[in-house]
């Protein structure tokens, strides 16, 4: 199974690009944010547990996230060639635990694609989406700021972590959806060709 990670700040285009990549490369798109929002919507025990954290723009604890990821990637999957992880891992302990999980099943990460965008574009995109969709963490500027702070303090260290492992690709996420998609596909195609 292939494992691709798509990394980037809020609004970078992780979800948008992951959906396109999942379709093109027969991957299962795992968006931890979407999963947690569905749990909140359904009012499950997990949803009740994480609601306040998500709506304030903080990160859910590592233990909860790892349980969630472990469950999905261990389920039997038919008709897919791998996974695209969107929004996970988001902390160093999550990244280390993922490496361990994958090595235990003799899998590894094929590539980490980092969508790099500037802060003004983050606000532009999220405030645009706030008009279209009803995501509680998109509504207040202070919540978006919290998400950005969480990203810088807890997620950004993953850039060095994965760069040191040599499967890290940075692209500027501020181009059109189509241009960014083309660029990511060319990275994936090159990796696959080398195998
Ligand atoms: P999550 O849902 O992952 O939110 P996020 O990281 O803040 O990212 P977004 O979903 O806002 O942005 P995106 O990069 O997916 O961009 P999108 O494609 O939508 O996480 C939410 C919360 O869940 C977290 O804050 C945390 O509480 C919790 N959580 C989730 N995973 C966790 C974990 N592992 N550990 C702990 N907590 C966790 O694009 C944004 C907008 O821009 C869209 O409107 C889109 O149409 C548009 N757009 C996209 N690309 C372009 C482009 N190239 N040009 C113009 N517009 C574009
Ligand atoms: Mg998303």
Model confidence pTM above 0.95? yes
Candidate from 15, 65, 91 with most ligand 1 atoms within 8 A of CB, to mutate: 15
Q: 37: Cβ below 6 Å to ligand 1?
A: no
pLDDT, one tens digit per residue, over 161-175 is 999 999 999 999 999
* Residues of the chain above pLDDT 90, percent: 95
Q: Supply the pLDDT for residue 49.
A: 97
Statement: residue 195 has pLDDT above 80: no
- Please check the confidence at residue 193 and state whether its pLDDT lies above 80: no
* Helix 62-74 and helix 32-42, axial crossing angle in degrees, nearest 10: 100
First to last CA, the chain: 13
Q: Where are the domains of the chain?
A: 2-186
Among all ligands shown, which has an atom nearest to the Cα of 129?
1
155 lines ligand 1 (CB under 6 A): no
* 97 in contact with ligand 1, CB cutoff 6 A: no
H-helix segments, 28-176: 32-42, 45-55, 62-74, 92-104, 119-132, 141-150, 157-163
Level-2 CATH architecture, domain 2-186: 3-Layer(aba) Sandwich (3.40)
């Amino acid at each position: 199974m292939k494992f691709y990670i798509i990394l980037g700040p809020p609004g970078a285009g992780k979800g948008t690009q992951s959906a396109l990549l999942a379709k093109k490369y027969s991957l299962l798109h795992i968006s931890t944010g979407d999963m947690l929002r569905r749990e909140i919507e359904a009012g499950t025990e997990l949803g009740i547990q994480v609601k306040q954290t998500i709506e304030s723009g903080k990160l859910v604890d590592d233990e909860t996230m790892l349980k969630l990821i472990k469950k999905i990637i261990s389920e039997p999957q038919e008709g897919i060639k791998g996974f695209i992880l969107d929004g996970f891992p988001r902390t160093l302990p999550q990244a280390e635990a993922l490496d361990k999980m994958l090595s235990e099943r003799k899998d590894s990460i094929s590539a980490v694609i980092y969508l790099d965008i500037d802060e003004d574009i983050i606000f532009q995109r999220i405030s645009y989406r706030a008009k279209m969709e009803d995501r509680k963490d998109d509504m207040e500027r202070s919540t978006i700021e919290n998400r950005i702070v969480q990203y810088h303090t807890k997620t950004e260290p993953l850039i060095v972590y994965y760069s040191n492992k040599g499967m890290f690709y940075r692209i500027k996420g501020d181009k059109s959806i189509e241009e960014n998609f083309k660029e990511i596909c060319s990275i994936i195609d090159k990796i696959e060709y080398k195998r």
